[in-house]
Structure formats: C-alpha cells, structure tokens
Structure 1
Amino acid sequence: MADIPLTPSLLSSLAGQTAFITGAASGIGLATALLLLQHGAKVALADLPGTRIEATSALQALDKAQLDRAFLVECDITDWKSVSGAFAKAKHWAGKIDVVVANAGVMETEPFWDFASIEEDDEQREAECREPVEAYRVVDVNLKGTMNTIRLAMFHMRSNPPSAYDGSRGSVVMTASTSGYFGGTGVVSYIASKHGIIGLLRSSQPAAAKYGIRLNAVVPFVTPTHITGSYIDAWNRAELPANDVEDVAAAIAQTACDARMKGAACMIAGKRMRELETFYTALVPQWLGPETTELLQQATKFFEKQGGYPLPAKR
C-alpha cells in the first residue's frame, strides 16, 4: 500500500471556487477553511450559533483579500431547516457551491455502557435503565448531520456546469475517522456513527456518479482537537505519532481537488496519507474466498440490471 504524496500544486484549482465547510469555527474545520482561503477560494464557514466570536477571532489574522472571501453562517447540521438555510445563504453570497466539507462531529462525554447516575438513588438505578440521550446526539450530529450536508451539497451542485479542471460538477469530502474502520476503544456512539460515514461513502457512489459529483472521505488518526483533549498530552509524552489539524486540512484540500479521487477514503496518520477503499476492495477475495466473492459479484450485477436496489413498498 503506497503513500499518497501531498501535492500542494493541486490546490491551485481552488482559486475562484466556493467551499462550504461545517464545523468550521475551530479545529480541523477552521484549519481547512484557512487553507482554502490561502489558495484563493471563497469559503462559507458554517458552525453552531454561539461560535461566531471564536471564528471571527481566528479570521482576524487574514489579510483583507482573504477576509473578504470568508463568510460566517450559523448552522445546526442536525436541523434540516437550519442547514438548508445555511446552504441557501452561502449560495446567495457566492453564486454557486463547488466544494463541500462535511466536517462537523462530536464524541460522547460519558460511556454508553455506564448504568450508574449520580442523580439516581440505588433503588431507582436497579429498577430503571436511563435513556442514553447523549449517545443519540452523537449519532444525530455525526451521521444524520452528515447525511443532511451531503444531500444538500449534491442538490445544489448538480446544476453546476462541468468543471474545466476535471469535468465534475462539484466535490464533497466527509471527515470520517480511523474509528470508522476500527472499533476497539469502546467509544460506542462515536465509533458506530463513523462506521456509518464509511457506509454513507460507499452507498452514495451511484448518486454521486449520476450527478457528476466526486464524493470522498478523509480518515484522520489521532489529531489534537477538543475530542482528543483528555489524552493528547499523555499521547505526546508517550512519543506516539499524531497529526496536527493542518495535516488533516491538507489531506481534505487535496482530496477535494484530486480528480482521481472518486469514492476514496484517504487515511491521514502520523503525517502519512493512504487510500483505504481500493485496498479493501482488492482484499475481499482473500477475506471471503472465491466462491462467496463471486456470489457477491453476481448480486451486484443483478441489482445493476434492476436499475438499483428495488426498495420495499411502504407498510
């Protein structure tokens, strides 16, 4: 499996394009926004109400030309009206949307399997199982919110003229995680939702091809953000390799611009980028054996002849 070299020259195609980035007030989202602004893109920085001060402060370091190409927009990606309205405002501001980075994400702050609660006495704790409300919120933000974002992205991009650069009508990059492929840490909601992002990447390729849109994912390893704040110092003391937010931003920007990337999942780990989906597909015969692999290939051809998977009738 060969590394993908980071190629800054690819980012020249960003000049004059408009990007919409969720979770853009801090961390990976902000680093991506700043990088795209540096390469001549207009950028709509979408994030929750209440993050405007944080984002505005970060933008003050930009020169006037870059600052004029930045647009802050409030957006709760779990709320359809909110995210739909944010896209509409961004398109009205810029005239079009060429790149969307579905980056916003959260992690739970308490274990899914913790049945204790300081608000409950022992008798009530034995009688009832507390509803995991925070776990639902994580799935809503990471999976439902990403689904909202890429649905609106494709809706708005499908009417774009084909790009002279690569012939596509737009580029969408989702921020997944190594937790979308591996799940040994026991962080249930986050891991489940990030596995969902990989499923979303794979299942959305027919629609992406139909509308002429490149849909890919970036898969960051440990990166110092709010999510890793509780252990990143100990991680660094252990001298384990980590990304920084600029590494991930560079991977996102390159994936957005690289015309070869269609259905790719680019893992960035210890400052090295590798594509995972191609090798996953190539290893399926070794994993399942030739007979089962052939059966799956026959099933794929069957559904292609049907024009896609026939959905069941409503009940």
Structure 2
Amino acid sequence: MHIKDRTFVISGGASGLGLATVKDLHSRGGYVAILDLNAENGQKVVAELGTHAKFFEVDVSEPSSVAAAVSALVPWLKETGKPIGAVIPAAGVGMPGKLIDRHNEPIPLESLEFVLNINLRGVLDLIRLCLPHMTKTTPTEPDGERGVIVMVSSSAAYDGQPGQVAYAASKGAVRSMTLVLARDLAQYGIRAVSIAPSYFESNMTAQMSEKVRKSLEKVFEFPRRAGRGEDFAGMVRHCIENSMLNGECIRLDGATRMPSRL
C-alpha cells in the first residue's frame, strides 16, 4: 500500500517511537493524526510538520476519551479527503512490579489495570473505533487493499524479565491477536501485523538506571546498541508498503534474547 495521500492514525505519536513513525510517514507524503495525552508536545509536533498533521488529545486508558478523539478525527478526514491507510496504536507504558513483593503483599490491582488498560484495552479500543472508517474506503489495486493495522508488541512477549508480568501479558496479547485480527479483517482487504521491539531508546527506557542499561548492552548480539526511532519507523513503513506482510509479529531486536537475570 502506498503512503502518499493516506492518513495514518498514531497513538503515542507525540514522543518516542510513535513520534519517529509520525515524522517518517509525514516525510513520505502521508497525513498524520497524532493521538497523545501530552498536548504541549503534540502541538509542537504539528507546528513543526504543518497542515498535513493534526493533534488530538486523548487518554487511551479512558474509552470516552478514545471515542471523542476518533469522532474529532472524522471531520478532518473529510476535510482533507485522505482516507485512513493505517492505524498504529503505539501508546504504551511499563510500570514494573512482581505479583507479590518482598513483604508477601500482592501488587495493587490498580497497577495491573493501569498497564493493561493502556497497552491492551486502549489498543483494541482505538482499532475497533477506526475500523468502520477504513472498511468504507475505496480499495486499491491490484489486491483490493484498504489498509493495515500495525500494532506494537515487545520482546517481553517472548522472554519477559522479572517484574514484567503485566507488561508481558499485555504485549503477549498483542502478539497473540495479530493473526486473529488478520483473519477477521481479510474480507475487508485490511491487514494486521505487529512489531516486537527489544530495548529501544524511548521515554520508557529513559527511566532505567545506567546500571540496568549497561547490563542490557551485554546481552546484545548485533548491532550492539539500543534500537533507535528510525529503526522502528522503518519497520512500520515496510509493514505498510509490503502487502504480503500479514498476520505476523516481527521481532525487531538484533537477535537479542533476554536472560532471566541481568
């Protein structure tokens, strides 16, 4: 599917991997709908990119906020005449914690819900609300394609670290539903893929201590560095443009496999 003159809906698009994706798709003629909780960052990005970008403030953990953002998006789609080409739910959080702590106390349910509501429910919510606006678009030749869903899983879906139980559960769910979503949407000419990055430079990993970063670097294979925004954005672009990519979760990790202890 071509990128030029299509609209790309990207949650978490005002920072990190989402922002890198926004800039990459915009540079190739795409229109970008940036959904994010950080209104200040979002408006700065729009001011930088110009008329082919629009910011929508949203809290993806709140269904009413997601619904309001999608409702506000529709008039912009009509105004530009550029149909949705892809939905990229890139908003995500970590919040590490074991189910039971050193004092034999269970983790607060609110901590689990915080991660699951953003990383899983928020993903499904945004996708389901955007789909009715994708299924009605004119399919493109030669395959009759209407668009693609590009989700963000994680290497934690395969080899999660201690304390990542909620995060791994949410990202594992994204990985598991990729094929099901591809099968459900095949009749509409809409593909579904997911990307599972390992350790990437992002707002989430920026909160790690220097000690943890150095420990992570020791398990890298090649390249021996953290992933960068352009690495992720390039894979998103490939998922959009290559129509044979469907129903698969792609590891983007430089052959890194996380051990149980660092």
Is TM (by shorter chain) over 0.5? yes
**Which of these residues, 150, 170, 184, is aligned with residue 207 of structure 1?**
184
Superposed CA deviations along residues 248-307 of structure 1, whole A, max 9, x for unmatched, are 11111211221111112122123x8xxxxxxxxxxxxxxxxxxxxxxxxxxxxxxxxxxx
Partner of 2:62: 79
**Which of these residues, 26, 34, 54, is aligned with residue 37 of structure 1?**
26
Partner amino acid for 2:27? Q
Partner of 2:258: none
Structure 2 residue 23 is matched with structure 1 residue 23:
no
Distance 1:261 1:44 in 2: 23
Give the 3-state SS of the residue equivalent to 1:243 in structure 2: coil
Within 5 Å, which residues of 2 pair with 1:56-67? 56-60=43-47, 62=48, 66-67=49-50
Partner amino acid for 1:199? S
Partner amino acid for 2:56? V
Distance 1:232 1:16 in 2: 42
CA 1:206/1:183 → structure 2, altered by over 3 Å: closer, same or farther? Answer: same
Partner of 2:132: 155
| Structure 1 residue 155: Cα displacement | 2.2
Partner amino acid for 1:74? E
Partner of 1:89: 72
Q: Which moved more, 1:191-200 or 1:104-113?
A: 104-113
Within 5 Å, which residues of 2 pair with 1:114-193? 114=101, 116=103, 131-164=108-141, 166-193=143-170
Distance 1:77 1:153 in 2: 13
| Structure 1 residue 103: Cα displacement | 1.0
Give the 3-state SS of the residue equivalent to 2:35 in structure 1: strand
Length-normalised TM-score, structure 2: 0.84
**Which of these residues, 104, 128, 133, is aligned with residue 91 of structure 2?**
104
Partner amino acid for 1:246? E
Partner of 2:235: 251
CA 1:113/1:26 → structure 2, altered by over 3 Å: closer, same or farther? Answer: same
Distance 1:106 1:204 in 2: 23
| Higher gyration radius (CA) | 1
Consecutive unaligned residues in structure 1, runs of 5 or more: 1-9, 117-125, 273-315
Partner amino acid for 2:194? A
Q: Which moved more, 1:21-30 or 1:203-212?
A: 203-212
Partner of 1:220: 197
CA 1:254/1:105 → structure 2, altered by over 3 Å: closer, same or farther? Answer: same
CA 1:181/1:74 → structure 2, altered by over 3 Å: closer, same or farther? Answer: same
Superposed CA deviations along residues 109-167 of structure 1, whole A, max 9, x for unmatched, are 44432265xxxxxxxxx8x7563311111011111111112212322211111023642
Distance 2:161 2:40 in 1: 37
Superposed CA deviations along residues 214-233 of structure 1, whole A, max 9, x for unmatched, are 11111111101122124374
CA 1:216/1:53 → structure 2, altered by over 3 Å: closer, same or farther? Answer: same
- 1:112·1:187 contact (CA, 8 Å) conserved in 2? no
Partner amino acid for 2:15? S
| Structure 1 residue 99: Cα displacement | 1.1
Partner of 1:289: none
- 1:20·1:90 contact (CA, 8 Å) conserved in 2? no
Q: Which moved more, 1:145-154 or 1:129-138?
A: 129-138
Superposed CA deviations along residues 170-205 of structure 1, whole A, max 9, x for unmatched, are 111001111112234341100111111112212222
Partner of 1:262: 246
Partner amino acid for 1:163? T
- 1:154·1:211 contact (CA, 8 Å) conserved in 2? no
| Identical counterparts, % of pairs | 28
The alignment's C-alpha RMSD in Å is 2.3
Partner amino acid for 2:42? A
Distance 2:65 2:181 in 1: 23
- 1:176·1:218 contact (CA, 8 Å) conserved in 2? yes
Give the 3-state SS of the residue equivalent to 2:206 in structure 1: coil
